[in-house]
Amino acid sequence: MPRNAYVTDLKTLQGECTANFIRLTRLLGDLEVGETREVELVTHGRRVGELCLKLQERAPYTSIVRVSQRGILDSLIETPRMRVHLYHDVRMAEVTDFQRQRHFDGRYRYPNSNMHQPDEKLQLNRFLGEWLDHGLAHGHSLDLPQLP
């Protein structure tokens, strides 16, 4: 029985990118190019790491933010890091680089040589959303107003 090809769910991807734009702009606040915002992550009263947001570039219609995390397992595992492009005119944020890998397609044949999931791009943007939600819900920073 032939398998159906994966069809990109553009509505879901665009929804995730729009939500990520809102999350990131809340966390970035009035950050200037070159500045970093560090949000200490606390779970059950214990510090588990820091969400680091660095505004690398800002132009009238786009910005580039590096998102990374430092934590208690830094010496044991490679911590996640990604580059995110914010598109101000359409109010969307898209992961464009994850762990030094760039340019993700909207869909991949499976299996493939890099072992990408068919919906890799959507999964990366969902991961960013969950990561930012955690920062908003459990983050503490001295230079930010209280995160609701």
Question: For the whole model, what pTM was predicted?
Answer: 0.78
C-alpha 72 chain-centroid distance: 20
What tokens were used for 53? 């947001």
Q: What is the longest distance spanned by two Cα atoms in the chain? A: 58
| Residue 147 pLDDT grade (very low, low, confident, very high; cuts 50, 70, 90) | very low
Are 67 and 84 contacting, i.e. CB atoms less than 8 angstroms apart?
yes
Domain spans of the chain, in order of start: 13-140
> 104-126 pLDDT, tens per residue?
665 556 665 665 565 778 888 99
Q: What was the pLDDT predicted at 44?
A: 81
What is each CA distance from 127 to 31, 58, 146, in whole angstroms?
A: 23, 24, 24
For residue range 11-69, list pLDDT tens digits in order. Answer: 988 999 999 999 999 999 999 999 999 988 877 888 878 899 999 999 999 999 999 98
Q: Is the peptide bond before 111 cis (omega within 30 degrees of 0)?
A: yes
Q: What's the rounded Cα separation, in Å, for the pair 143 and 27?
A: 11
